[in-house]
């Protein structure tokens, strides 16, 4: 009788210990995930920003020649609002450079892309 | 990992007090150690996998961003090369500059070169037969027969892939029609004059404003009538002429047609920027002596200003826009058969036939028209309009549009002259549009001769990595003063 009671006690103690250990492992994994959640969010933001930037550039193809200036706008992607800034400057007559910045509205996770545009109407003969 | 072991051992020691189960030497139970080690291994593997995954995702995102920038750098470089070639900034094709932007650079290497014939663009009207085409500015209106109806499409510039259907008349029963076009406030406008069951109607069609129709009563109108469209106070207007020096002016808001007159040997026309050649106050009496069959607008005296040339069966009238002078040339018993700019010096010349076959050339000089030798290197049986460049001349011979090349001494057949029309779609040089069944072809700058095709390999890289490599075909046409460049990615 005494042996059975000890075995029972030992068995329930093992289950309890097992649960404690598994919970600890779970907590540890959660902690690790939390440590990396910022990195994951950053990558997600940059991915969305890149998609937006690609869409913007694809609409300005062909004979597009941008006006010089600074232009700000916003766009929503994946439920997050992104700020878009275009800075167009003239590097030489008939050549303009556009810097496109897309990132979170607070300026974080911003990607920068650059492209040149040429005014083929200007001929330096 | 160690924290997992520590927690496992702590609990093991606490709960195993007084219990006799299997213990190792230090008093720790074997199952607990196994569980602890297993948990630690799980945590360790998860951590390594997660770190690898996150690092991979971050690296891939960085590579993706660099790849997009590489594409933009490459596009910028190709456009830059296009500009440099257009401006003749590159003299040696084996030494093309390196283009850099966004921290990346694109270089080009020539891998081949060959001659290419003048650029030909084709457009197909989805199976319906093309009835007429009319260039207006840099656009082309195309009328085609579609299942008993009339379809009107508009091509913009040389963008043959993006035509727009601007009007479809399902039941097209017109017995006779004529068309004319103009640019009104920068937008192309088409006049469609029709006669159906004896009723005449003008339809004004514009891609911006749609179409509107008006019933009119024209005293004269047949297939050889000359139509000229223009703008009066921002509204489109149409001149209908029999080729005589009096024409009827149709203005949509006006209830009746107005009469416009011009000097004998000419006919009222719109030209240039909404300018009207002719007088609306009845300044010239009707004259039937020199009927006009065609009107050209070009710089015929090479003074930088466009002029008007009125071509008749037996008359040629030159009106200088700059000087306002008027010169009428006629030959008694003579028949005008060919006219236009010929020779390297771009002389306005006209070919006359006296009697049955005696050929005589007359050219414009400072004193007026005088006898000339005609196009010296191109003694062909020219008919209709002629145009020349430095080494070649284009015109019609026996009903076929041909190009005579002085260098090769070849006569190149282009198309049937019946469905061909000269225009200036692409820059200042002459282009040719011709139709055949449901095909419309645009031959760009045929007088420039063959072009050059360069095959280039582009390499876009950062400091040490090649990010993109592509092959491009760059087509170069024209001369140093008017060079046109087209590029496409080679397949």
**Residue of chain B whose alpha carbon sits nearest to that of A123:** B87
Confidence of residue A39 (pLDDT cuts 50, 70, 90): confident
CA nearest to A95, candidates A57, A55, A68? A68
Strands B334-342 and B382-388 turn out to be parallel
Please tell me the distance from the alpha carbon of residue A82 to that of residue A55, in angstroms, as a whole number: 14
Prediction pTM value: 0.69
Q: What does the pLDDT read at residue B11?
A: 47
Does B83 score more than 80 pLDDT?
yes
Contacts of B152 (CB under 8 A, 6+ apart): B141, B142, B143, B144, B165, B166, B167, B168, B190, B192, B205
Confidence of residue B29 (pLDDT cuts 50, 70, 90): low
Domain extent, residue A12, equals 2-118
Q: How many CB pairs under 8 A join A and B?
A: 110
Number of domains chain A is built from? 1
Q: What does the pLDDT read at residue B43?
A: 77
Contact (CB<8Å) A116/B481: no
Is A95 part of a structural domain of the chain?
yes
Please tell me the distance from the alpha carbon of residue B146 to that of residue B128, in angstroms, as a whole number: 5
E-strand spans in B207-323? 210-216, 226-232, 235-241, 246-250, 258-261, 269-271, 275-277, 292-298, 307-312, 316-319
Contact (CB<8Å) B87/A125: yes
Segment B290-335, tens digit of pLDDT: 899 999 988 888 888 889 999 999 999 999 876 678 899 999 889 9
Structure tokens at B288: 């039937």
CA nearest to B249, candidates B206, B282, B291, B290? B282
Say what the ipTM of the complex is: 0.82
Segment B38-57, tens digit of pLDDT: 877 877 888 888 889 888 98
Average pLDDT over residues B116-130: 87
Confidence of residue B425 (pLDDT cuts 50, 70, 90): confident
Is A125 part of a structural domain of the chain?
no
A20 shares contact with chain B (CB less than 8 Å) = yes
Evaluate whether B244 touches B286 at the Cβ level (below 8 Å).
Answer: yes
B158 shares contact with chain A (CB less than 8 Å) = no
In angstroms, the Cα distances linking B234 to A99, B185, B261 are 41, 7, 22
Segment B235-267, tens digit of pLDDT: 899 999 999 999 999 998 776 888 999 999 999
Q: Strand, coil or helix: what is B110?
A: strand
A27 shares contact with chain B (CB less than 8 Å) = no
Write the DSSP assignment of B300-312 as a string of letters. TTSSSS-EEEEEE
Please tell me the distance from the alpha carbon of residue B226 to that of residue B243, in angstroms, as a whole number: 6
Confidence of residue B468 (pLDDT cuts 50, 70, 90): very high
CATH of the domain at A113: 3.30.1300.30
A47 contacts in chain B (CB < 8 Å): 61, 64
Please tell me the distance from the alpha carbon of residue B378 to that of residue B389, in angstroms, as a whole number: 12
Is A85 part of a structural domain of the chain?
yes
B82 contacts in chain A (CB < 8 Å): 118, 120
Structure tokens at B163: 């035509």
Contact (CB<8Å) B42/A25: yes
Contact (CB<8Å) A114/B72: yes
CA nearest to B390, candidates B484, B311, B482, B320? B482
Confidence of residue B17 (pLDDT cuts 50, 70, 90): very low
């Amino acid at each position: 009788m005494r042996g059975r009671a000890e075995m029972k006690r030992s068995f329930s103690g093992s289950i309890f210990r097992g649960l404690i250990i598994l919970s600890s492992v779970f907590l540890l994994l959660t902690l690790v995930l939390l440590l990396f959640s910022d990195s994951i969010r950053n990558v997600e933001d940059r991915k969305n920003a890149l998609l937006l930037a690609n869409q913007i550039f694809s609409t300005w193809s062909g004979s597009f020649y941008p006006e010089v200036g600074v232009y700000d706008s916003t766009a929503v992607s994946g439920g997050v609002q992104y700020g878009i800034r275009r800075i167009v400057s003239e590097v030489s007559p008939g050549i303009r450079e556009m810097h496109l910045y897309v990132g979170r509205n607070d300026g974080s996770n911003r990607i920068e892309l650059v492209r040149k545009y040429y005014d083929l109407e200007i001929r330096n003969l | 990992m160690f924290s997992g072991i520590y927690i496992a051992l702590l609990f093991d020691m606490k709960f195993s007090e007084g219990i006799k189960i299997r213990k190792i030497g230090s008093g720790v139970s074997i199952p607990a150690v196994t569980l602890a080690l297993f948990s630690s291994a799980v945590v360790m593997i998860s951590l390594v996998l997660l770190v690898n995954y996150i690092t991979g995702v971050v690296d891939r995102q960085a590579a993706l961003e660099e790849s997009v920038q590489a594409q933009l750098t490459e596009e910028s470089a190709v456009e830059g090369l296009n500009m440099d070639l257009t401006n003749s900034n590159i003299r040696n094709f084996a030494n093309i500059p390196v283009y850099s932007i966004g921290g990346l650079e694109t270089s080009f290497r020539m891998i081949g070169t060959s001659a290419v014939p003048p650029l030909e663009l084709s457009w197909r009207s989805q199976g319906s037969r093309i009835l007429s085409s009319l260039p207006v500015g840099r656009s082309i209106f195309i009328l085609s027969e579609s299942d008993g109806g009339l379809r009107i499409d508009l091509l913009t510039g040389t963008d043959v892939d993006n035509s727009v259907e601007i009007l479809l008349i399902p039941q097209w029963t017109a017995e006779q029609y004529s068309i004319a076009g103009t640019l009104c406030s920068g937008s192309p406008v088409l006049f469609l004059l029709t006669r159906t069951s004896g009723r005449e109607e003008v339809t004004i069609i514009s891609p911006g404003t749609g179409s509107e129709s008006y019933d009119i009563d024209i005293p004269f109108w047949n297939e050889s009538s000359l139509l000229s469209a223009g703008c009066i106070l921002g509204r489109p207007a149409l001149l209908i002429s029999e080729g005589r020096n009096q024409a009827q002016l149709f203005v949509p808001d006006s209830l009746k047609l107005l009469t416009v007159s011009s000097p004998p040997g000419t006919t009222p026309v719109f030209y240039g920027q909404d300018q009207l050649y002719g007088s609306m106050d009845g300044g010239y009496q009707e004259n039937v002596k020199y009927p006009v069959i065609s009107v050209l607008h070009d710089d015929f005296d090479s003074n930088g200003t466009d002029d008007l040339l009125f071509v008749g069966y037996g008359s040629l009238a030159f009106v200088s826009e700059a000087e306002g002078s008027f010169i009428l040339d006629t030959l008694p018993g003579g028949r005008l058969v060919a006219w236009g700019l010929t020779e390297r010096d771009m002389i306005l010349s006209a070919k006359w036939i006296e009697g049955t076959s005696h050929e005589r050339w007359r050219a414009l000089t400072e004193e007026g028209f005088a006898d000339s030798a005609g196009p010296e290197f191109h003694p062909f049986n020219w008919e209709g309009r002629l145009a020349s460049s430095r080494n070649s001349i284009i015109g019609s011979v026996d009903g076929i549009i041909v190009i005579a090349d002085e260098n090769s001494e070849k006569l190149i057949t282009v198309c049937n002259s019946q469905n061909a029309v000269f225009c200036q779609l692409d820059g200042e040089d002459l282009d040719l549009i011709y139709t055949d069944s449901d095909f419309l072809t645009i031959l760009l700058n045929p007088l420039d001769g063959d072009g050059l095709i360069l095959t280039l390999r582009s390499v876009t890289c950062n400091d040490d990595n090649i990010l993109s490599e592509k092959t491009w075909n760059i087509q170069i046409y024209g001369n140093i003063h008017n060079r046109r460049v087209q590029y496409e990615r080679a397949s």
